[in-house]
Amino acid sequence: MELKTLCELHGLSGNEGAVRRAIMETAGPLCDEVKIDRGGNVVCLKKGHQPDAPSIVVAAHMDEVGFIIVGYTDDGLLRFRPIGGIDPRVVISKWVHVGDERVPGVIGAMAIHLQTAEDRKRVLDFDNLFIDIGAKDSKEAEKLCSLGSYAAFDTPYEDFGEGFVCAKALDDRVGCYSLLRLLEESYPGDLIACFVTQEEVGLRGSKTAAFGQQAEIALVLEGTAANDLGDVPERARVTELGKGVAVSFMDGASIADRDLFRQMLSLAQEADIPHQVKQGVTGGNDAGSFQRSREGMRTIVLSVPCRYIHSGASVAKSSDIDAQFHLAKEFLNQF
């Protein structure tokens, strides 16, 4: 499956059905077992060819950030709240699709011409933003978009520049894409592929997925923040596009297994795979669930750097996405 296809599917936290169906269709023929657990996670088993080799979990999350409809104004605008961590400054004037019918809408705010000097000094929060779907009043808006409807960014996938891609949901469709590519190969040990739900709202899907697995090691494939534009000092860039896959030693949810961290860096160097160490203890991901469930698993995270992450238009570099796949493949083949 192409990354473009994955990114253009809508799959907000708790509503990952379209992504789940596409992954099941692609992964099914490649695996020995495929199931959906009670948390909505897709769990795939690809048996290894060496009976004594360890089983390894590789995980990526299917969900993306977005919005949910919570009310209406008298003049037909939709009130909404974010799903996942979204900066309200990056959503104004963005197109969205609302509900299963993909009703087109645009996120609006008061025009700058009408703002006072004090208005321009403050950041508008979600209480002061609305989705305009062209409805004449609240009744028409409610008919088109019921309470609890999801609203996803309407952003086409684009290749641009020298090897860059722009899309919504690169976090974490890049990980899902790499994991699907991994399922096309064979490995010494069993590969347990977990495509998990609701990462963006508290690692919820991975908690149930992790509880159901008995493996020693979990490798998490993610997208992560890059801060590599302008005059940002090198130490503050966190990750940089074009420098390869990012290996994390720690984030807000987990601390990497030290042996696996060193091992991953050594593998990347030996195989000449572009890589970098993530320079910041930021965010959190599903490694936190796999590290703590039952008896725990030794965890390590490989992330693709993404500019403008958690917005309607993130940017990544194809070479970094390829590096994530190749390093994960080397890691699985070494056991």
Cite the active site residues. Answer: 199
Q: How far is CA 96 from CA 141, 155, 167, 223, in A?
A: 15, 8, 13, 22
Cβ neighbour number for residue 173 with a 10 Å cutoff = 30
Comparing CA positions, the residue from 193, 200, 255 lying closest to residue 223 is 200
**Residue that has been written with the tokens 């080799």 in this structure:** 53
DSSP code for 229 = S
Amino acid present at 313: A
Cβ neighbour number for residue 136 with a 10 Å cutoff = 9
Following DSSP, what letter does each residue of 253-273 receive, concatenated? S-B--HHHHHHHHHHHHHTT-
Q: What span, in angstroms and rounded, lies between the C-alpha atoms of 291 and 257?
A: 9
Beta pairing, strands 191-196 & 56-61: parallel
Cα atoms in the 13 Å half-sphere on the side-chain side of 79: 11
Cβ neighbour number for residue 17 with a 10 Å cutoff = 15
